[in-house]
DNA sequence: CTGAAAGCGCTTACAG
DNA sequence: CTGAAAGCGCTTACAG
């Protein structure tokens, strides 16, 4: 228990924090502080003998480098920031996870910041965090393009699911999963699909629509878009009437929340899913397998998205292999109970 | 577009990063750098006139203080860390949110770190992050007590839902919600309740059990614990047989996941919830209102937990009012469809 | 292979 | 009210 206290007592030089510095080590090992720095950071740059002595002293004193002090002369903080609008969003946290993992493996710390409110709040947050990191990932951003460009001028930056010209970006590519989904619906006998679009200018919604359209054409299946809809349970419930009136036997929603909202409303109105109507979504959120019936959906490799983003950033900073452009992440169909064969009437 | 470039050109002194420093401002305003520092940080410490001149220059140059450089002499990083085992855990992210909000309001940055794997990984993460923050919140920790005590010696620290002697901690107190839940079950006519306990040495599980026990006694309702169970869907499913055999008309699960697992299994076996069996949980996770029937559950003020933790930490650091001890956060019943009147047989 | 020095961008007693 | 100086803990040319 007096461990820390003892080591403090044994070496004169200490200040506010009880932490040992390279000066303490230098003193203990009988070398110059600069030699300590080299021994600890540039293995081989110092004779094996003194390096050993220095490492021993460092261990003895429980030395931990002060990352702030190191950052000043080098300009490297070994930290990168991930800005997201909403941590609660199930789509977001797998991304966070992937990013965390990749950062941690590279010895980097990930700062996650939620910008919830307005784009103004986000701008503030970003402004505050930027000087303290080596790069930033804009996960779900509401910043205007010009602001993003401005930021990219000061620090390496990458956006997720958002295209700004001249800025590196990464997204999940819905085509594979969409094709699988349409193949699946085709097999079940569906000839007409309704797509419930997301928010009016959602980039991801149009990408999903395009992918479905392409796949439907390949099967000669009719497809049309209904919307826009808010990406929520309420959005899905509100879509019910038009979806039913459309005569489509299968409806694919912009995301799982909308799909679940639709299922709930359909059930409330006396329809049975999938017997009367097949429903599918995108994202594969946690709740998708808990509802009744469990939801058929297209899952993205979000974890891969997060880790790819980190790796890309690190590479542009000079850690790891040189950058070779960005490649979107893939998607995959998860078949569960909300899709079934077309009812014969 | 040449905005940044221009301002660089106009002031000779710049290095690797294009950012303006207090030296640039000092030069532009014709004062000493120390005066700039005072003007910007200690309003009133400098004549109104020069302060105005300095602020103008700072704006002109788009000055942003370098937080790392500031941190070195002061020892203050304006950052606090929140360590959690699993970001995906629904119980966790509301806490994150509250913490984020409170930190941000105080002008602090919150670093969130997920320690997923072993306690060893967590120890590493904490070790790496500690020197760069002003305090740490251990959200869901697997660290042994002695390790936590050791950490608390170097940096202000607070634990969540974990009691270690001598260390400040904050938890959610289940008593209010548990009382409401038992009142509710009593009204519905239940006279026997089964509690599905969580993991064997879960501190939270015992607290919930104690609270339910106390409430049940106040009504003269019989109550008993079955378990331990893993805090998952599978744990709930596995509990079904014993729960049913017990003859209890209502079962309260350690958490929502277990409750949902139980409901799914019960449904699979042909029981109807709540007609044949009432089920309730704890936490009020997002999926609770999506399942069929929607789950009656006890919700904690997790957001409050997160923000209280931050505020407590800041106070011990000297920001805000002095510390007055820690007060647990409250809980509240959310009645939905999984609880009903006892069936007459 | 290693030492001595200068510098990273800021803060803060110490003078005046 | 403001300047000049020293220092935070590290890194890195520059010498030798």
Q: Residue B232: its pLDDT value, please?
A: 92
Residue A14 pLDDT more than 60? Answer: no
Q: Tell me the average pLDDT across B54-80.
A: 91
Residue B341 pLDDT more than 80? Answer: yes
Cβ burial, residue B201 (10 Å; 0-12/13-18/19+) = exposed
Q: Dihedral sign, CA of A134, A86, B96, B280?
A: negative
Confidence of residue A33 (pLDDT cuts 50, 70, 90): very high
Helix axes B175-187, B203-219, angle to 10 degrees: 40
Q: Residue A94: its pLDDT value, please?
A: 87
Residue A13 pLDDT more than 50? Answer: no
Q: What is the CATH number of the domain that holds A163?
A: 3.40.50.2300
CA separation for the pair B50, A281 (Å, rounded)? 61
Q: How many domains does the structure of chain B reveal?
A: 3
Which chain A residues contact residue B71 at CB under 8 A?
A: 68
Q: Write down which residue in B26, B44, B65 finishes a domain.
A: B65
Q: What is the CATH number of the domain that holds A38?
A: 1.10.260
Percentage of chain A exceeding pLDDT 90: 66
Q: What DSSP line would sit under A92-130, residue for residue?
A: HHHHHHHHHHHHHHTT-EEEEEE--S-HHHHHHHHHHHG
Confidence of residue A199 (pLDDT cuts 50, 70, 90): very high
Q: Residue A324: its pLDDT value, please?
A: 65
Q: Residue B216: its pLDDT value, please?
A: 98
Place of tokens 């909000």: B101
Residue A4 pLDDT more than 80? Answer: no
Q: Do A294 and A183 fall within a single domain?
A: yes
H-state helical runs in chain B: 3-10, 22-29, 33-41, 48-60, 67-74, 90-105, 119-129, 145-154, 175-187, 203-219, 233-245, 256-268, 302-317
Q: Do A227 and A292 fall within a single domain?
A: yes
- B83's CB contacts (< 8 A; 6+ apart) are B113, B115, B122, B125, B126, B129, B136, B137, B138, B139, B141
Q: Write down which residue in B65, B91, B110 finishes a domain.
A: B65
Q: Residue B323: its pLDDT value, please?
A: 62
Q: Residue A113: its pLDDT value, please?
A: 86
Q: What is the pLDDT of residues B107-135, one digit of tens each?
A: 898 988 888 767 788 888 888 888 899 99
Strand C atom within 7 Å of B33 CB: yes
Least Cα separation, residue A182 to chain B (angstroms) = 26
B75:A260 CB<8 A: no
- A64's CB contacts (< 8 A; 6+ apart) are A19, A20, B127, B130, B131
Q: Do B103 and B199 fall within a single domain?
A: no
Q: Do A201 and A318 fall within a single domain?
A: no
Specify which residues B279 forms β-bridges with: B251
> Alpha carbon A218 to chain centroid distance?
32
DSSP assigned state of B172 = B
CB pairs under 8 A between A and B: 119
Confidence of residue A322 (pLDDT cuts 50, 70, 90): low
Confidence of residue B307 (pLDDT cuts 50, 70, 90): very high
Least Cα separation, residue B112 to chain A (angstroms) = 6
Q: Do A155 and A61 fall within a single domain?
A: no
Q: Residue B93: its pLDDT value, please?
A: 81
CA separation for the pair A115, A119 (Å, rounded)? 8
Q: Do B114 and B131 fall within a single domain?
A: yes
| Chain A residue nearest residue B90, CA to CA | A88
Is A334 among the domain residues?
no
Is A340 among the domain residues?
no
The length of chain A is 345
Q: Do B145 and B164 fall within a single domain?
A: yes
CB proximity B165 to A under 8 Å: no
Percentage of chain A exceeding pLDDT 70: 92
Residue with the bigger pLDDT between A118 and B239: it is B239
The least confident of A37-51, A112-126, B243-257, B300-314 is A112-126
Residue with the bigger pLDDT between B316 and A323: it is B316
Residue B215 pLDDT more than 70? Answer: yes
Q: Dihedral sign, CA of A82, A88, A92, A98?
A: positive
Strand D atom within 7 Å of A8 CB: no
Is A343 among the domain residues?
no
CB proximity A113 to B under 8 Å: yes
Q: Do B119 and B212 fall within a single domain?
A: no
- Find out whether A229 and A239 touch, Cβ atoms under 8 Å: yes
**What phi and psi, each to the nearest 5 degrees, are found at residue B92?**
-80, -40
Percentage of chain B exceeding pLDDT 90: 67
Strands (E), A179-313: 192-196, 222-226, 250-253, 278-282, 296-300
Confidence of residue A134 (pLDDT cuts 50, 70, 90): very high
CA separation for the pair A26, A57 (Å, rounded)? 8
Q: Do A296 and A306 fall within a single domain?
A: no
CB proximity A100 to B under 8 Å: yes
The length of chain B is 345
Cβ burial, residue B115 (10 Å; 0-12/13-18/19+) = buried
Which chain A residues contact residue B90 at CB under 8 A?
A: 286
Q: Tell me the average pLDDT across B195-200.
A: 95
- Find out whether B262 and B236 touch, Cβ atoms under 8 Å: yes
Is B37 among the domain residues?
yes
Q: Do B223 and B250 fall within a single domain?
A: yes
Name the residue range of residue B84's domain: 78-171+302-328
Q: Residue B344: its pLDDT value, please?
A: 64
Q: What is the pLDDT of residues A135-166, one digit of tens each?
A: 999 998 889 999 999 889 889 999 999 999 99
Is B46 among the domain residues?
yes
Q: Tell me the average pLDDT across A298-326.
A: 86
CB proximity A110 to B under 8 Å: yes
CA separation for the pair A296, A338 (Å, rounded)? 6
Residue B6 pLDDT more than 70? Answer: no
Q: Tell me the average pLDDT across B89-95.
A: 83
Q: What angle do CA A19, B102, B206 make, to 5 degrees?
A: 85
Specify which residues A329 forms β-bridges with: A172
| Chain A residue nearest residue B268, CA to CA | A292
B292:A291 CB<8 A: yes
What would you report as the CA-atom Rg of chain B, rounded to the nearest whole angstrom? Answer: 27
**What phi and psi, each to the nearest 5 degrees, are found at residue B142?**
-110, 10
Is A341 among the domain residues?
no
A112:B111 CB<8 A: yes
Is B339 among the domain residues?
no
User: Which of A109, A132, A290 comes nearest B68 by C-beta?
Assistant: A132
Q: Residue A171: its pLDDT value, please?
A: 94
Confidence of residue A169 (pLDDT cuts 50, 70, 90): very high
Tokens representing B255 are 């958490």
Is A339 among the domain residues?
no
Q: Which of B1, B64, B67 to mutate to test the interface with A (most CBs of A within 10 A)?
A: B67
Least Cα separation, residue B121 to chain A (angstroms) = 10
Q: Do A268 and A319 fall within a single domain?
A: no
Q: Dihedral sign, CA of A144, A146, A149, A151?
A: negative
Q: Do A114 and A34 fall within a single domain?
A: no
Q: Residue A262: its pLDDT value, please?
A: 98
- Select from A303, A299, A265, A264 the least CA-distant residue to A285: A299
Average pLDDT, chain B: 89
Confidence of residue B188 (pLDDT cuts 50, 70, 90): very high
Confidence of residue B194 (pLDDT cuts 50, 70, 90): very high
CA separation for the pair B133, B147 (Å, rounded)? 18
Residue with the bigger pLDDT between B214 and A91: it is B214
């Amino acid at each position: 228990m007096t461990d820390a206290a003892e080591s403090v007592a044994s070496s004169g030089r200490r200040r506010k924090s009880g932490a040992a510095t390279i000066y303490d080590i230098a003193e203990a090992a009988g070398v110059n502080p600069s030699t300590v720095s080299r021994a600890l950071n540039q293995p081989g740059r110092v004779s094996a003998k003194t390096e050993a002595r220095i490492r021993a002293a460092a261990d003895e004193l429980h030395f931990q480098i002060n990352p702030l002090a190191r950052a000043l002369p080098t300009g490297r903080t070994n930290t990168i920031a991930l800005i997201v609008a909403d941590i609660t969003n199930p789509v977001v946290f797998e991304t966070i996870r992937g990013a965390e993992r990749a950062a941690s493996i590279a010895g980097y710390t990930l700062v996650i910041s939620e910008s919830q409110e307005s784009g103004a709040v986000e701008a503030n947050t970003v402004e505050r965090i930027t000087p303290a990191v080596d790069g930033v990932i804009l996960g779900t951003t509401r910043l205007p393009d010009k602001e993003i460009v401005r930021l990219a001028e000061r620090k390496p930056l990458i956006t997720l699911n958002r295209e700004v010209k001249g800025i590196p970006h990464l997204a999940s590519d819905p085509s594979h999963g969409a094709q699988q989904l349409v193949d699946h619906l085709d097999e079940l006998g569906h000839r007409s699909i309704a797509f419930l679009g997301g928010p009016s200018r959602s980039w991801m919604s149009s990408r999903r629509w395009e992918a479905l359209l392409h796949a439907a054409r390949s099967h000669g299946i009719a497809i049309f878009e209904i919307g826009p809809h808010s990406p929520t349970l309420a959005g899905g419930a509100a879509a019910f009437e038009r979806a039913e009136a459309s005569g489509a036997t299968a409806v694919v929603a912009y995301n799982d929340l909308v799909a679940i909202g639709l299922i709930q409303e359909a059930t409330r109105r006396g329809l049975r899913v999938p017997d009367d109507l097949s429903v599918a979504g995108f994202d594969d959120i946690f709740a998708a397998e808990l509802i009744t019936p469990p939801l058929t959906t297209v899952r993205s490799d979000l974890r891969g998205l997060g880790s790819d983003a980190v790796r890309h950033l690190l590479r542009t900073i000079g850690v790891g292999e040189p950058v070779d452009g960005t490649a979107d992440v893939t998607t995959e169909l998860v078949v569960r109970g909300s899709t079934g064969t077309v009812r014969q009437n």
